[in-house]
Structure 1
Amino acid sequence: MRPRAAALASAAALVLAATAIGAAPGTSPPLPDRMADTGGGTQLITAQAVRTGSTTGTVTWWDRRGGRWVKSGSAAARFGAKGLTEGGSRKQGTNTTPTGLFRLPYAFGIKAAPPGTDYPYRRVTKNSWWCQDNDSRSYNRWTQPRPADCRAAESEHLITYDTQYAHALLIGFNYDRPVRGRGAGIFLHVNGRGATAGCVSVSGDAMRRILRWAEPDRRPHMAIGTQSGATAITRY
């Protein structure tokens, strides 16, 4: 085959390959298609930062339709004041956002659920606490009221965060089998004044859009990571 003919054949093969995976020629597949795991559902939220030292990035929510991942929305995001760190080795109190792939057990908020919300939603009251006391049997759990073995100084009184917890989603980090000292109370919530203490935050409008979008029957998960390196979001 002549060199020009070979080049044309190679270009045609690249076009066919891109078409086969649902990507336009010259573009990479959607982020979820490049991930090791998306949780097995048909909805996914990705929270991606440039590097582990970043305190800002992008949250994107995706739907799987017709065998393809399609972006349904995105928003600017904030991460921990000390950046991001591998979830499996994170230490409590480090102001870092854990990386990994997590389920989203339920939503909650000081305000009523946005109209159109189908996701399980708990309303915050003056008796609602999130226990972060490593010595408590209620570690990394919503408690109402706060149990005697969960010190107030080691917990969050949810109603006092009227801006951040107007609407929120629980990120299932260290939740199913809590490891003491790894961290508690990691949420996707509304932006406060700046970087978070380890959560992921977005604007109030974006948070409401996400809650209206999320469908429990479609088993949405959330992946948090960086663009590359050991904590690359594509590794999860």
Structure 2
Amino acid sequence: MPVRQRAAHLLLPTLCAAALLLTGCSTGPAASPAAPPAPAAGPAGSGSDKHADTEQRPAPAPTPRAIPGIGPGTAASLTDGTHQALVVTGERADTSTATAVLWQREDAASPWTRVLGPWPAHNGLRGWTHEHWAGDLRTPIGVFGLGDAGGRLPDPGALLPYDQDPEFAVSGTGFLGEPLEGSFDHVIAIDYNRVPGRTPLDKERPLGEERGGGVWVHVDHEGPTQACISLSADHMRQLLRALDPDRGPVIVMGPAAELRT
């Protein structure tokens, strides 16, 4: 074989090998390049969208929670400045036993939270009334201010103005024959038919004497009252230390069915 032909014969396998490397060793049409892999999904909420974080909206403000057992009609008497409410609830209109709870909120938009109670309490011998008259032995229903305190014993740390006076004295027996002595050791005046800002001993009656007066929260004598609300001596001291005139304290009192309206 001539030298030129032998050289060409030897070069042919080398060219074939190079061709196989370039075509992927396929006898058919060349395969299309593989598509790039899709990006992996991130954790829920993280998102691959770079704008996702900037589109998040703030959570809505919490809805203020009403005082349990207080309906919209009664709650309407609680102004934006009322941040403490002593709720005294009787089971029925004619009962003389009740339950007292002190509720508090930070401001008008905040939920109410229980801070004291529930405590057992007494009210008027014949229950409750929307129209209190002197001697009817019923406790007035409604929402009334609590702004003045006093008693025969020294101030136990009250935040309300406190008038210590020996005139806060009582004797005799109650409707069940129980002794009344010590019932006025501590009192808080309920702003029914009185002039707020004065000692509970003040006798002025804006609605007239016939509409009663001197309706207080006082120390319990283990029996029904003339028209007042009574709590144990320890609970009275706790209440006096908790009621804050800067929180506009009120008492909300009446039978459960009335307070739910």
* 2:185 corresponds to 1:185: no
* 2:130 corresponds to 1:101: no
- How far, CA to CA, are the matches of 1:212 and 1:49 in structure 2? 24
Largest Rg, 1 or 2: 2
User: Structure 1, residues 103-162: CA drift from partner, whole Å, max 9, x if none?
Assistant: 113001111111x3221000122xx3xxxxxxxxxxxxxxxxxxxxxxxxxxxxx32354
Q: Secondary structure at the match of 1:206?
A: helix
2:123 aligned residue:
79
Change (3 A) 1:52 1:70: same
Change (3 A) 1:51 1:107: same
* 2:202 corresponds to 1:160: no
Q: Secondary structure at the match of 1:95?
A: coil
Give aligned pairs, total.
178
Kept in 1, the 8 Å contact 2:147–2:249? The answer is no
Selected match of 1:121 from 142, 162, 166 = 162
* 2:153 corresponds to 1:111: yes
- How far, CA to CA, are the matches of 2:91 and 2:187 in structure 1? 24
Kept in 2, the 8 Å contact 1:30–1:69? The answer is no
Structure 2 unmatched ranges of 5 or more: 1-60, 172-180, 196-205
Counterparts of 1:11-160 in structure 2, within 5 Å, are: 20-21=62-63, 30-31=68-69, 34=72, 35-39=75-79, 40-65=81-106, 67-74=110-117, 75-86=119-130, 89-114=131-156, 116-125=157-166, 128=167, 158-160=168-170
Change (3 A) 1:227 1:118: same
1:217 aligned residue:
246
Compute the RMSD of aligned alpha carbons: 2.4
Of structures 1 and 2, the one with the larger relative CO (CA 8 A, separation 6+) is 1
- How far, CA to CA, are the matches of 2:127 and 2:68 in structure 1? 25
- How far, CA to CA, are the matches of 1:210 and 1:104 in structure 2? 11
- How far, CA to CA, are the matches of 1:62 and 1:33 in structure 2? 15
Tell me which stretches of 4 or more aligned residues in structure 1 moved more than 6 Å: none
- How far, CA to CA, are the matches of 2:120 and 2:152 in structure 1? 23
> Identity over the aligned pairs, expressed in percent?
28
